[in-house]
């Protein structure tokens, strides 16, 4: 039977993709789902003014460390004209030319703009659960792994799915440009929520994450 592992981390680069690789190295078949994948595609196209080379470039960079680097071309006055840009101009009046990062836009576009301003708090969860159901219904996977459970509605909603384990991953070393950034609500929304397992990703010992999951009863 396919189970669901819902992963959370307070900071980026905590080892979630590494953990998936470790699961697969044991011969486990993994179906990966990220609630933010649709968000990244939509946000990149809005920033670029539609699909095309620039949108593709932004979407690729959203999966790399460059997403944390402020860029002048991502300043509010520099991105493509759209309802999102108009909202940004009104909301952040004093910083139209301040360089912004792709991470900043993902957080702002996904939470403040869509979840709050547009009143669509469940949009990314609903789209992500379509993919989760695909993995469960296919029937050949050992695990459906949700790599980015970050919000309360995602946490509460996914608990209604069958055979779910929630896992928080904490990295034990400092990464400049990631750990020195201000927290966003999507980083800390689940900080006080209970998890089935707490995994410490130790520098130089990534394989120990699997041992911890087994010790805590999440993996057989």
Q: pLDDT tens digit string along 67-93?
A: 989 999 999 999 999 999 999 999 999
Residue 94 has pLDDT above 90, yes or no: no
1 pLDDT higher than 90: no
* 47 shares a domain with 129: no
Q: Which residues contact 67 (CB under 8 A, 6 or more apart)?
A: 61, 101, 102, 103, 106
Asked if the model's pLDDT at residue 147 lies above 90, the reply is yes
189 in the same domain as 147: yes
Helices 123-138, 36-48: inter-axial angle, 10-degree rounding? 130
Q: Is there a single domain that holds both residue 134 and residue 210?
A: yes
Overall domain count for the chain: 2
Instruction: Tell whether 220 is covered by a domain.
Output: no
Q: What are the φ/ψ torsions at residue 152 (nearest 5 degrees)?
A: -60, -40
Residues 143 and 91 in one domain: no
d(C-alpha 30, C-alpha 40), whole Å:
22
What is the mean predicted confidence (pLDDT) over 116-133? 94
Query: Quick one: 149 and 189 in the same domain?
Result: yes
Chain mean pLDDT for the chain? 94
The pLDDT of residue 181: 86
Q: Which of 60, 83, 117 is the last residue of a domain?
A: 117
Average pLDDT value for residue range 98-116: 94
Distance CA 41, CA 182 (A): 24
Domain boundary among 84, 117, 150: 117
Residues 210, 126: one domain?
A: yes
Question: What pLDDT score does 9 carry?
Answer: 95
Q: What is the 3-state secondary structure (H, E, C) of the chain?
A: CCEEEEEECCCCCCCHHHHHHHHHHCCCCEEEECCHHHHHHHHHHHHHCCCCHHHHHHHHHCCCHHHHCCEHHHCCCCCCCCHHHHHHHHHCCCCCCCCECHHHHHHHHHHHHHHHHCCCCCHHHHHHHHHHHHHHHHCCCCEEEECCCCCHHHHHHHCCCCCEEEEEEEECCCCCCCCCCCCCHHHHCCCCCCCCEEEEECCCCCCHHHHHHHHCCCCC
Domain enclosing residue 31, as ranges: 3-36+122-215
Among 117, 135, 165, residue at a domain's last position: 117
- How much of the chain, in percent, has pLDDT values that exceed 90? 85
Residue 59 sits in the same domain as residue 153: no
pLDDT at 95 over 90: no
pLDDT tens for each residue of 193-218: 999 999 999 999 999 999 999 999 99
* Average pLDDT of the residues in 26-55: 95
42/105 same-domain check: yes
**Both 111 and 54 in a single domain?**
yes
Whole-model pTM?
Answer: 0.79
Does some domain include residue 182? yes
Residues 24 and 41 in one domain: no
* pLDDT for the residue numbered 184: 84
What confidence tier does 186 reach under pLDDT thresholds 50, 70, 90?
confident
């Amino acid at each position: 039977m396919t189970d669901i592992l819902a992963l959370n981390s307070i900071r980026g680069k905590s080892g979630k993709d590494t953990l998936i690789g470790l699961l697969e190295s044991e011969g486990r078949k993994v179906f990966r789902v990220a609630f933010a994948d649709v968000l990244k595609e939509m946000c990149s196209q809005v920033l670029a003014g539609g699909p095309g080379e620039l949108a593709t470039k932004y979407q690729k960079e959203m999966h790399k460390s460059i997403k944390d680097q402020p860029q002048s071309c991502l300043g509010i006055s520099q991105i493509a004209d759209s309802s999102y840009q108009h909202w940004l101009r009104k909301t952040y009046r004093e910083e139209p030319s301040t360089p912004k990062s792709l991470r900043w836009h993902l957080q702002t576009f996904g939470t403040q703009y869509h979840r709050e301003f547009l009143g669509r708090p469940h949009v990314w969860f609903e789209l992500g659960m379509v993919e989760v159901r695909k993995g469960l219904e296919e029937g050949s996977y050992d695990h459906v792994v949700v790599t980015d459970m970050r919000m309360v509605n995602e946490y509460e909603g996914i608990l209604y799915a069958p055979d779910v384990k929630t896992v928080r991953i904490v990295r034990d070393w400092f990464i400049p440009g990631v750990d020195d950034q201000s927290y966003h609500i999507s980083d800390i929304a689940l900080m006080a929520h209970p998890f089935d397992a707490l995994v410490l990703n130790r520098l130089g010992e990534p394989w120990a994450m699997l041992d911890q999951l087994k010790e805590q009863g999440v993996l057989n």
